[in-house]
Amino acid sequence: MTAFRVREFAELAGVTVRALHYYDRLRLLCPRRTGSGYRLYSIRDIERLEQIVALKFLGIPLKQIGELLDRDDRDLSEVLRAQRRALEEKRRRLDQTIAAVREAERTMRPGQQPDAAVLKKIIEVIEMQDNAEFMSRYYAEAVRAKLADRGAQWTPELQERVTQRWTELFADVEASLDEDPAGEKAQALAARWQSLVEGFTGRDPQITAGVANMWADRGNWPASLQQQARPFSNPKVWEFIGKAMARRI
């Protein structure tokens, strides 16, 4: 059987010796060893390395790659499907940004200063993409695929409408903090709150858990996201709605 020393294998496979050593330490690509401890790579190792490089290129973490390659094809197929959806969601967000820039180009004339409202729209679209990318870290891989499927319908216009509904609800709750959490008015507010939450989670327990984790960690959000969340950060509102929710029938 043909065997290659590490430098020969690195040149043949088009990777660095350092990368091969790293993959060996991670137990991703473990060549056989000579009695003297030298690494010897085979043709089969080239096939596995090609799989590692391809999955890494798709954005799958190295730790997960090792687990996938050591399990059956169904696991790999599911991860590839989820990764495809995530990439499609990134493309969709990029297309939205391109569309906003194209609209700015369309409305401008040579020598004219860009309209502030158009530039604001571009910034809003880009910030929405960045925030969505950041918030995805609070969800498991399988949940991200679910969110990616919904993402095509979550436009900046829809985000604006949902934000308006939350703004109105927060104002109504702040004006009702002296109410009995078990009373009719508080329960109506709790119902509106739950309806808005479920409009995003779809009552999916995994998505609901991700939302809870995200809000619990809001002190670590990026500045732009914290700025957007500031109108919804009154602890008295959260305390009141928590009590009202606990008393829901």
Look up the CATH number of the domain holding residue 38: 1.10.1660.10
| pLDDT over threshold 60, residue 9 | yes
Degrees (nearest 5) of the Cα angle 215, 217, 219? 105
**pLDDT above 90 coverage of the chain, percent:** 22
Q: Please identify, among 83, 117, 152, the residue that sits at the C-terminal boundary of a domain.
A: 152
Task: Specify the residue for token string 């939450």.
Answer: 197
What whole-number distance in Å separates Cα of residue 85 and Cα of residue 236? 39
pLDDT bracket for residue 114 (50, 70, 90): low
Q: Are residues 241 and 160 in the same domain?
A: yes
- Provide DSSP, 17-84: HHHHHHHHHTTSS--EE-TT--EEB-HHHHHHHHHHHHHHHTT--HHHHHHHHTS-HHHHHHHHHHHH
- Contacts of residue 79, defined as CB under 8 A and 6 or more positions apart, other chains included, come to 60, 64, 68, 141
Domain of residue 224 covers 155-249
Judge whether 170 lies within some domain: yes
Higher-confidence position of 97 and 56 = 56
Q: What is the mean pLDDT of the chain?
A: 80
100 and 22 in a single domain? The answer is no
Once rounded to an integer, what is the mean pLDDT over residues 76-91?
A: 75
Is there a contact between 222 and 161 (Cβ–Cβ < 8 Å)?
no
More confident residue, 153 or 96: 96
* Residue 75 in domain: no
Q: What does the pLDDT read at residue 118?
A: 56
Residue 33 φ then ψ, to 5°: -115, 150
Give the side-chain half-sphere CA count within 13 A for 229.
18
Do 166 and 148 belong together in one domain? no
pLDDT at 237: 93
In angstroms, rounded to a whole number, what is the distance separating the alpha carbons of residues 164 and 230? 14
Residue 86, domain member (yes or no): no
Residue 112, helix vs strand vs coil: coil
Residue 63 has what pLDDT? Answer: 81
| Number of domains composing the chain | 3
On whether residue 11 sits in a domain, the answer given is yes
39 contacts 33 by C-beta, under 8 angstroms: yes
What proportions of the chain, in percent to the nearest 5, are helix, strand and coil?
Answer: 75, 0, 25
pLDDT at 115 over 60: no
Does residue 168 or residue 112 have the better pLDDT? 168
Give yes or no for residue 110 having a pLDDT over 70. Answer: no
What is the tens place of the pLDDT at every residue in 147-205? 766 665 667 677 788 889 999 999 999 999 999 999 999 999 999 999 998 888 888 88
